[in-house]
């Protein structure tokens, strides 16, 4: 975990995190209190969202930052996200996304080739 996030995570959740899969192929990392709230939202989804519930809830694993600020990601989650050597950790507000760097680059390239979605049409930089 980059040092700029360690103090905040230590203060907000005592370094206690939850890692799970994301439908886009990356891993989500939540501070435990944020995950607890998100978990309740996911559990309330209708039965038609069962596959999403399995993906998110069924793969959720609690982890802790060690004294050096590292997180041990379980083997099965590393394999599911195809995490190799070069990784990218993206801060997404209340959570992080952990990507294999090459897969993130390809994912971004494909997404940008499709243009901005209609829901972002009014967004300006």
SS3 category, 97: strand
For each of the chain's 125 residues, which pLDDT tens digit applies? Answer: 888 888 888 888 999 999 999 999 999 999 999 999 999 999 999 999 999 999 999 999 999 999 888 999 999 999 999 999 899 999 999 999 999 999 999 999 998 898 878 888 787 77
Per residue in 79-99, pLDDT (tens digit) is: 999 999 899 999 999 999 999
Predicted local distance difference test score (pLDDT) of residue 29: 97
Predicted local distance difference test score (pLDDT) of residue 116: 78
- Please indicate, yes or no, if residue 122 is contained in any of the structural domains: no
CATH number of the structural domain spanning residue 53: 3.40.1550.20
Counting the structural domains of the chain, the total is 1
pTM of the model: 0.90
- Please indicate, yes or no, if residue 73 is contained in any of the structural domains: yes
Predicted local distance difference test score (pLDDT) of residue 122: 80
SS3 category, 90: strand
- Please indicate, yes or no, if residue 59 is contained in any of the structural domains: yes
2: CB partners within 8 A, 6+ apart? 89
Domain that holds residue 35: 3-112
């Amino acid at each position: 975990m980059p040092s700029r996030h360690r103090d905040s995570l230590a203060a907000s959740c005592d370094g206690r995190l939850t890692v799970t899969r994301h439908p886009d192929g990356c891993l989500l990392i939540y501070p435990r209190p944020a995950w607890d709230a998100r978990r309740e939202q996911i559990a309330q989804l209708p039965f038609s969202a069962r596959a999403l519930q399995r993906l998110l809830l069924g793969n959720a694993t609690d982890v802790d930052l060690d004294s050096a600020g590292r997180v041990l990601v379980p083997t099965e989650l590393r394999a599911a996200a195809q995490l190799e050597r070069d990784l990218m950790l993206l801060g997404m507000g209340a959570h992080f996304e952990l990507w294999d760097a090459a897969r993130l680059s390809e994912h971004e390239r494909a997404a940008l080739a499709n243009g901005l979605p209609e829901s972002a049409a009014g967004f300006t930089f």
